[in-house]
């Protein structure tokens, strides 16, 4: 379907209006428009932002070089890696969940073995393994997804699993007549699936990581 420049401007404007209404209704922390014209909705509250900044000051110094090294060696931005780690463990290297995932990046035993991690509670081993895993997930992202959005597919898959996300992505693509923005896919997923579902949870997880990524880049 061909869209005139006026139509495209109208669509971008509509997304911006939707974002503003969303923030006003939900109390979300902020929203912004990316360089590609996408509206990215933010869900981190002011209280959560303050907690992130406090923990950054308290816990980042011994971890910074670990994230930098893991990110550099595996082609992942270190602030993004740090943001995932915060969402996973709040930067606690000995974190353990009831499901058995553990460590700074909360790796499962299976994932750790897949990416060559021998000690999940060693922060350097954990961060390096998570960075390698993210690159594997980027490589499995749908070919029709724009390159700059493949990393967000990888982040969602890090939480919800790549096979499940691919199935949902294919279903969404069958409902649209042109390539949509990643935020369109997020909105479709949250609107289609129950909030308690693994798929919707993976998208909310990604939204939170994106928030923390913005904050991390301001603090780095």
* One domain, residues 20 and 90: no
What lies within 8 Å, CB to CB, of 67 at 6+ separation is 78, 79, 81, 82, 85, 127
Does residue 54 belong to any structural domain of this protein?
no
In which domain, by residue range, is 138 found?
61-219
- Residue 143: pLDDT over 90: no
Position 13 scores a pLDDT of 55
State the chain's mean pLDDT as an integer.
84
Position 37 scores a pLDDT of 45
Does residue 53 belong to any structural domain of this protein?
no
Q: How confident is the model at residue 46 (pLDDT cuts 50, 70, 90)?
A: confident
* One domain, residues 103 and 75: yes
- Residue 94: pLDDT over 80: yes
Q: How confident is the model at residue 58 (pLDDT cuts 50, 70, 90)?
A: very high
Most confident option among 2-16, 49-63, 179-193: 49-63
* One domain, residues 129 and 100: yes
- Residue 88: pLDDT over 90: yes
* One domain, residues 65 and 37: no
Does residue 14 belong to any structural domain of this protein?
yes
- Residue 90: pLDDT over 90: yes
Residues taking part in catalysis: 88
* One domain, residues 152 and 197: yes
* One domain, residues 88 and 24: no
Does residue 48 belong to any structural domain of this protein?
no
Position 2 scores a pLDDT of 40
Position 14 scores a pLDDT of 54
Residue 6 burial (10 A CB sphere; 0-12, 13-18, 19+)? exposed
* One domain, residues 120 and 176: yes
pTM (predicted TM-score): 0.81
Which is higher by pLDDT, 175 or 15? 175
Q: How confident is the model at residue 177 (pLDDT cuts 50, 70, 90)?
A: low
Specify the range with the lowest mean pLDDT, choosing from 74-83, 113-122, 138-147: 138-147
Position 28 scores a pLDDT of 42
Element (H, E) at 39: strand 39-41
Domain count, the chain: 2
- Residue 24: pLDDT over 80: no
Residue 102 DSSP one-character state: B
Position 45 scores a pLDDT of 86
């Amino acid at each position: 379907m061909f869209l005139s420049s006026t139509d495209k401007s109208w669509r971008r404007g509509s997304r911006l209006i939707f974002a503003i209404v969303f923030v006003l209704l939900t109390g979300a922390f902020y929203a912004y428009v990316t360089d590609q014209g996408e509206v990215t909705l933010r869900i981190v509250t002011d209280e959560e932002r303050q907690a992130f900044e406090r923990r950054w000051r308290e816990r980042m110094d011994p971890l910074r070089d670990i994230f930098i090294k893991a990110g550099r060696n595996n082609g992942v931005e270190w602030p993004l890696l740090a943001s995932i780690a915060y969402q996973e463990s709040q930067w606690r290297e000995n974190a353990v969940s009831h499901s058995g995932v553990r460590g700074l990046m909360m790796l499962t035993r299976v994932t750790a073995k897949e990416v060559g991690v021998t000690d999940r509670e060693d922060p350097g081993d954990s961060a390096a393994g998570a960075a390698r895993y993210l690159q594997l997930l980027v490589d499995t992202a749908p070919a029709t997804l724009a390159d700059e959005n493949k990393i967000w597919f990888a982040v969602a898959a890090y939480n919800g699993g790549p096979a499940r996300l691919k199935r949902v992505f294919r279903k969404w693509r069958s409902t649209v007549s042109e390539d949509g923005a990643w935020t369109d896919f997020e909105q479709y997923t949250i609107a289609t699936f129950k909030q308690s579902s693994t798929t919707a949870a993976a998208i909310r997880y990604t939204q939170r990581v994106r928030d923390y990524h913005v904050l991390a880049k301001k603090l780095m």
